[in-house]
Structure 1
Amino acid sequence: MRFRSSSGLAAIVVAAALALTGCGGGSGSTDTSTSTDGKVDGTGKTLNVLVGVLSQYPEQQKQWQSDIAAKFKAETGADVKFETFASANDELTRIQTSVVSGQGPDVYGLGTTFTPTAFATKAFVTLSDDDWKKVGGKDRFNKAALGISGPDEEHQAGIPFVSRPFVMAYNKELLAAAGIEKPATSWDELAEQAKKMTKDGVYGLATGYKDNFDPWKFIWAMAVQAGNPIVDGGKLKLDDPTVKKAYETYFGWLTEDKIVDPASVGWSNSNAVAAFASGKAGYLMMTTSSSLPTLEKSEVAGKYEYALMPTVPPGESSSKNEDAASILSGDNLVVADYSKQKDLAFAYIKLITSKEEQLNYQKIFGDLPANAEALKELAGDAKLKPITDAAAKSKATPFTGAWGDIQLGLLNVTVQSVPDLAAGKVDSSALEARIKDSQSKGQASLDRASKG
């Protein structure tokens, strides 16, 4: 998920949850009845589900919610009320309010990188064997998608919904015209190829420096590929030289290499997708299969392919972590421990993670299914192969309740550097100071989490 956090809020959520009594994991009580054939009778009940807004496909999301609600009503007799959040600030505020009050949505749709923070609150169900059976069994899900469901196989809270590994898209015609035979596999090679395509209003790369979610992922990838795990036990390593090198490379596309549109300093991901879709960029960076429905209806339809993002870090000839082609990304579903409708919640999750519904969701929104059978059915789609390869080469972000704050710290370095980027140069000492500040705040959050 393209998640962003709010400074210190993750720690506040955790602290508030730990202060409550009776918030441990487990299925707890339920006021819905389950028949001997496993069907849940929710007649007269309403299940509350909180999900993020899909800003790229708002009308399609409303229609999907309406259709799913109708199917759930027919199956259980219960209604579904969807609530949405448009930003991570909103998301964390909603969770904080629910954790403290002990009431709110029954089911939350969370990004994978936020699952550790949610797990640390102890306000969501730690899944038992019986709980997994209620959603169709653990074997229903692609094993890789379970990689950030919990700290270990015995303590899992996140039920995989969709997989969203990050890749890059490339314009086959622009690469060919520049004499480029195949997509870059190193970040240095990427910059060199992009220079060859930058001319006449066309740029080598499309990315959004002001996006609320993506910038930190570039830094994470380059640093991890260089051998820096970011979190090493109880130590945070944002002040490692690999992190500064990653920022210098990322910012340098604009300030030094001149391979991105100067306007991209104010772009979000949607602006970058639009630029690529109009044929104005050779590469679209840090995208997912959710771009597929848009690109298939654009000027580049039939002219683009997806590829793994580079795995060789800047300034190096080989990678120390080739499996870090993408963060382990997607959405997990968690059930609130305070919910009195847990069986109904699990019935809803069972419905939307079925093979049929997962394939339908992929057709509408592009995201890869977390359902193993549905994913296998898409294996023959050549356009999706690089994305499934990225899923196999995805690396989970550290499973710590502090990750939300650490992720925010990585993002904030870019946020604070935007004025400098707009002016055409990011001062080295200013960059070091921003990284040092994020290191200090992130380490404090990591220390709190380890004591939690």
Structure 2
Amino acid sequence: MRSIRAAAAGAVTLSLALAASACGGGSATGGGSDDSPKTLTYWASNQGASVEADKKVLKPELEKFEKETGIEVKLEVVPWSDLLNRILTAATSRQGPDVLNIGNTWSASLQATGALLPWDTKTFDEIGGKDRFVDAALASTGKQGEDPAAVPLYSMAYALYYNKQMFADAGIAKPPATWDELVAAGRKLAQDGKGALGAEGSNLSENVHHAYVFARQHGVDFFTDDGRPDFTDGHAVAAVKQYVDLMAKDKVIAPGNAEYAQNQSVSDFAKGRNAMLLWQSAAANLTSQGMDPGAYGIAPVPVQSGAPGPGTQVNSLVTGINIAVFKNTDNLSGAKKFVKFMTGAEEQKILNKAYSSIPPVEAAQSDPAFATPDNKVLKETLARSAVAVPQVPAESQFETAIGTAVKELFADAAAGRPVTTQSVRAALEKAQTQMPAA
């Protein structure tokens, strides 16, 4: 999912949604299609630099859909800070849109509410078949063994962006491939209390994404094989500490980044205040902030040793956006037509170019736009060294609990309070108590 969002909904809200699992989404009185086969409501996630930027991208495409089908799409671009709460409220109240974007890491949690249309083989066939989509994207559409709760729309992966001139000025010949190399480069780059690496320390989603990747590199994933949370395993503790230590111990992340939650680290990088950035498919965001594409390079996210690959050399989540339909929509036929349109090969090229993401539809990936150096790194990451987050019903609570724990640890680091193995374990123990019983 896109990283500009801040905190998602808490465990209490999701518990209410789970308790109301019989409720569908529908649009009865909540701004839906008003029983009209000629209208649809669509909640789009904020993918670009602003809500207005997204409207400029999407409105011409929605007009194209209306011209083709006669169906008007009423668009609302929802900021990430509001999106999950809005969706969960819609799931329980039966007042929501017909079609919506969801962060792909939420798929299993929202699937558990029972509000979203399941995409069985027959339903997939209505939009051109399941085999149009790449396997990595399909892996983040819901719980394994169940029909997907959504359809892949935009695929993204994390990469390391680095300022070429700042690297050259510091005498650094190539981007770091390991965390030790990143720390060494960062210490060369850091000057006058500034950080060499940007971070969004108050952004829960960014926090949990990086914590999860570090955990996989340490050989754990915060859950046991049967889906129970296991946040205090020694390797999980070491993983979270290693990430927070980039500020607390290694001093390559500036203390002020502990308060960042809404793209500030991207802005810092674009303006030359930081030399490195870990981000998802950042090209469009950087360009919108005035950074020349030739001014930065892109490399895989560092690993513990060696090169990115499967197993403990994981270096990214399979991030991105899925498109879903509320089960109780008043215009199911139109909603499926809209999903088919948005995931068509030509439309996939247009939308993913606009958002610097990778099409999850294989036929669209042949476009030369997705063969740039940036996209080559992202495609190789998705194919070789990215993993889906745990597809468990409590994934949303996991994001909130771990994201908050890391936020509080960054706050400690920024304030000069010690970040120790004991304090990290205590933070993760607290996070685990916030998870629902199995």
The question of a shared fold, defined as TM-score above 0.5 by the shorter chain, is answered with: yes
Whether the 8 Å CA contact 2:308–2:314 is kept in 1: the answer is: no
**Aligned equivalent of 2:378, options 373, 380, 387:** 387
Q: What is the deviation of 1:143?
A: 2.4
The number of residues matched between the two structures is: 422
Q: What is the deviation of 1:415?
A: 2.7
Q: Note closer, same or farther for the CA distance 1:318–1:58 as it changes in structure 2 (3 Å cut).
A: closer
Q: Note closer, same or farther for the CA distance 1:87–1:298 as it changes in structure 2 (3 Å cut).
A: closer
Match of 1:28 in 2: none
Q: Does 1:435 align with 2:435?
A: no
Look up the SS of the partner of 2:68 in the other structure: helix
Q: Does 1:356 align with 2:359?
A: no
Q: What is the deviation of 1:297?
A: 6.2
Match of 2:359 in 1: 369
Q: What is the deviation of 1:230?
A: 1.4
Whether the 8 Å CA contact 2:105–2:389 is kept in 1: the answer is: yes
Q: What is the deviation of 1:103?
A: 3.9
**Aligned equivalent of 1:53, options 37, 46, 54:** 46
Q: Note closer, same or farther for the CA distance 1:423–1:144 as it changes in structure 2 (3 Å cut).
A: same
Letter paired with 1:386: V
Match of 2:119 in 1: 127
Q: What is the deviation of 1:323?
A: 5.3
- Cα distance in 2 between the residues matched to 1:299 and 1:365: 16
Q: What is the deviation of 1:440?
A: 2.2
- Cα distance in 2 between the residues matched to 1:299 and 1:81: 33
Whether the 8 Å CA contact 1:103–1:338 is kept in 2: the answer is: no
Letter paired with 1:380: A
Q: What is the deviation of 1:418?
A: 4.4
Letter paired with 1:338: N
Q: Note closer, same or farther for the CA distance 1:317–1:273 as it changes in structure 2 (3 Å cut).
A: closer
**Could you report, residue by residue, the CA deviation over 1:49-70 in whole angstroms, capped at 9, with x for unpaired residues?**
1222346133221122321221
- Cα distance in 1 between the residues matched to 2:47 and 2:147: 30
Q: What is the deviation of 1:298?
A: 3.2
- Cα distance in 2 between the residues matched to 1:237 and 1:394: 21
Letter paired with 2:425: E
**Aligned equivalent of 2:10, options 7, 10, 19:** 7
4+ runs deviating over 6 angstroms: 316-320
Q: What is the deviation of 1:202?
A: 5.7
Match of 1:225 in 2: 217
Match of 1:282 in 2: 275
Match of 1:397 in 2: 389
Match of 2:99 in 1: 107
Q: Once the two structures are aligned, what percentage of the paired residues are identical?
A: 26
Match of 1:326 in 2: 316
Q: What is the deviation of 1:424?
A: 1.8
Q: Does 1:424 align with 2:416?
A: yes
Q: Which moved more, 1:401-410 or 1:349-358?
A: 349-358
**Could you report, residue by residue, the CA deviation over 1:118-157 in whole angstroms, capped at 9, with x for unpaired residues?**
1111221111323112222222222221111232366112
Q: Which moved more, 1:121-130 or 1:93-102?
A: 93-102
- Cα distance in 1 between the residues matched to 2:159 and 2:308: 19
Whether the 8 Å CA contact 2:166–2:189 is kept in 1: the answer is: yes
Look up the SS of the partner of 1:367 in the other structure: coil
Letter paired with 1:5: A
Q: Note closer, same or farther for the CA distance 1:390–1:103 as it changes in structure 2 (3 Å cut).
A: same
Whether the 8 Å CA contact 1:226–1:319 is kept in 2: the answer is: no
Q: Note closer, same or farther for the CA distance 1:282–1:92 as it changes in structure 2 (3 Å cut).
A: closer
Whether the 8 Å CA contact 1:225–1:319 is kept in 2: the answer is: no
- Cα distance in 2 between the residues matched to 1:355 and 1:367: 14
Q: Does 1:245 align with 2:249?
A: no
User: Which residues in structure 2 correspond to 1:156-235 (within 5 Å)?
Assistant: 156-199=148-191, 203-232=195-224, 233-235=226-228
Letter paired with 2:10: S
Look up the SS of the partner of 2:414 in the other structure: helix
Letter paired with 2:256: A
Q: Note closer, same or farther for the CA distance 1:381–1:375 as it changes in structure 2 (3 Å cut).
A: same
Tell me, which stretches of 5 or more residues in structure 2 are unaligned?
A: 26-32
Look up the SS of the partner of 1:235 in the other structure: coil
**Could you report, residue by residue, the CA deviation over 1:89-128 in whole angstroms, capped at 9, with x for unpaired residues?**
x333333333233342111210011011111112211113
- Cα distance in 2 between the residues matched to 1:318 and 1:44: 49
Letter paired with 1:282: A
Letter paired with 2:147: H
Structure of higher CA gyration radius? 1
Q: What is the deviation of 1:300?
A: 5.0
- Cα distance in 2 between the residues matched to 1:217 and 1:362: 22
Tell me, which stretches of 5 or more residues in structure 1 are unaligned?
A: 25-31, 33-41, 448-452
- Cα distance in 1 between the residues matched to 2:112 and 2:37: 33
- Cα distance in 2 between the residues matched to 1:230 and 1:320: 18
Letter paired with 1:184: P
- Cα distance in 2 between the residues matched to 1:312 and 1:376: 33
**Aligned equivalent of 2:257, options 261, 264, 273:** 264
Look up the SS of the partner of 1:231 in the other structure: coil
- Cα distance in 2 between the residues matched to 1:218 and 1:420: 18
- Cα distance in 2 between the residues matched to 1:163 and 1:318: 19
Q: Note closer, same or farther for the CA distance 1:48–1:14 as it changes in structure 2 (3 Å cut).
A: same
- Cα distance in 2 between the residues matched to 1:241 and 1:319: 23
Q: Note closer, same or farther for the CA distance 1:446–1:196 as it changes in structure 2 (3 Å cut).
A: farther
- Cα distance in 2 between the residues matched to 1:141 and 1:320: 21
**Could you report, residue by residue, the CA deviation over 1:213-253 in whole angstroms, capped at 9, with x for unpaired residues?**
20111211111111112111233221012222223222222
